[in-house]
Amino acid sequence: MTRIEGNQAISEPVTIPRPEHVISRVNISENALKVLYRLKQAGFQAYLVGGGVRDLLLGREPKDFDIATIASPEEVRALFRNSRLIGRRFLLAHVRFGNEIIEVATFRGQSDGSDEEQLVQSDEGRLLRDNVFGTLEEDAWRRDFTINALYYNIEDFSVVDYVGGMTDLKAGTLRMIGDPERRYREDPVRMLRAVRFAAKLGFRIHAETEAPIFELGHLLDDISPSRLFDETLKLFLSGNAVATFELLRHYRLFERLFPATEEALSMEENHFPLTLVSRAMENTDQRIAVGKPVTPAFLYAALLWEPTRRLAQQMEQAEAGLTWLQALHAASSLTVSRQAKCTSIPKRFSVPMREIWAMQSRLEQRSGKRPLRLLEHPRFRASYDFLLLRAESGEAPAELAQWWTRFQDTDSDQQHAMLQEAPVTKTSKRRRRPRKRRPNGAGA
């Protein structure tokens, strides 16, 4: 196999010796080193690869460490009692050390057509199963982006580069290995990965890698909603939500993940664009930067609020006597059902998400003992934070958000004084539906 630099075809890898790169074992997970050394001692080639090597070369702290080896998954399993094999599409070994998991993958190879059971593709070219094993060089050319195909060799602490990844890393370029359109068809999620890496690293997507994204977004429709839910969390909970959100919309990928939200964002309200989602992305990045948690329930509450609110308004206006809370409840159910066709929302997140929405009306009620009871509600803090977002975007009264900010930070006497001065808000009564009369003789 060869790579092209200028007009020259190069078949040998570039090896960067230890003195010429910044990677130090001090910055590599002790558990990853244990796996590397045990594989080496057992006679297997083993390399640190992927995002861990990329981030170390950029002076960043890797989130996790992946290993590529000549050992088969079964050989890895036999070597590490604390491991298990996972995956059907890509068979991997997970070696667990407490809360840390080191992922070990066997070198991927090129199929020669004799192993149809191990390489299965759909009619559109999407890889359904890929367990063809090969050499280090073949593995490098099978990876997605050049900057993710750099290998740290535990034998001599060098970095091995078959695809020009070091050049792209220094230039800040994100480049697909091989033909971009074919690679996207093999796995459409690579388009989302391109956006995530570009946003995370501040890299420019190479023109040839970028061009097919505008045309192939529809391929995401064939990816399972559960996988796209996982990818959504990676996209927005990595500390670069604002840049990621802007790039997803630029490449028309956001509408594939959140079609109802994209439709709502294309409209204006009182001649002003809707900004709640953008502000939620800013808030998410700020919280992650200071080590505060952001739950998927809150993230999805922000992403799906605009279409839910608009749908509730339409329902309330269309059916006489329907209260806002009833309309919101019905709209919430419909929004979640529709969204589940694009990205799944596990019940452990959809339930608190809907509670955050429902609490917005309860926060408007500031008389009696309701506010004191709301302070004890398990969803109060998330609901209050959501109210702040709504106020910042002009969708909720700023005075209401300010009142709750003061109320929770003051003493008991002052709270009672605020309750006396608070405006009385009428509670929404649930409309009773007339009972149907049973015809004579009908069974109970």
- The 8-class DSSP code of residue 157 comes to S
Of 70-74, 107-111, 382-386, give the lowest mean pLDDT range: 107-111
C-alpha to C-alpha distance for 414 and 7, rounded to whole angstroms: 77
Of 9-18, 336-345, 426-435, give the lowest mean pLDDT range: 426-435
C-alpha to C-alpha distance for 396 and 379, rounded to whole angstroms: 19
- Reading the block at residue 39, the tokens are 């594989």
* Angle at which helices 380-392 and 296-318 cross, to 10°: 70
- What confidence score (pLDDT) does residue 426 get? 52
Residue 434: pLDDT over 70: no
Amino acid at 409: D
- What confidence score (pLDDT) does residue 272 get? 52
The structure's pTM equals 0.86
- What confidence score (pLDDT) does residue 109 get? 86
Question: In 10 A of CB 321, how many CB atoms?
Answer: 9
State the catalytic residues: 64, 66, 144
On average, the pLDDT of the chain sits at: 89
What's the CATH fold of domain 257-421? cca-adding enzyme, domain 2 (1.10.3090)
Q: Where are the domains positioned within the chain?
A: 3-171, 257-421
- The 8-class DSSP code of residue 220 comes to G
Q: Do 248 and 235 contact (CB within 8 A), yes or no?
A: yes
72 Cβ contact partners less than 8 Å away, ≥ 6 residues apart: 106, 133
Q: What is the pLDDT of residues 96-105, one digit of tens each?
A: 999 999 999 9
- What confidence score (pLDDT) does residue 8 get? 41
C-alpha to C-alpha distance for 403 and 408, rounded to whole angstroms: 9
User: Region 79-83: what's the mean pLDDT?
Assistant: 96
Q: What is the pLDDT of residues 225-268, one digit of tens each?
A: 999 999 999 999 999 999 999 999 999 999 999 999 999 998 86
What's the CATH fold of domain 3-171? Beta Polymerase; domain 2 (3.30.460)
DSSP 49-105: ETHHHHHHHTT---S--EEEESS-HHHHHHH-TTEEEE-SSS-EEEEEETTEEEEEE
Of 129-138, 165-174, 429-438, give the lowest mean pLDDT range: 429-438
Q: What is the pLDDT of residues 314-366, one digit of tens each?
A: 999 998 889 999 999 999 999 999 999 999 999 999 999 999 999 999 999 89
Give strand pairing partners of 68. 47, 105
62 Cβ contact partners less than 8 Å away, ≥ 6 residues apart: 29, 51, 52, 55, 56
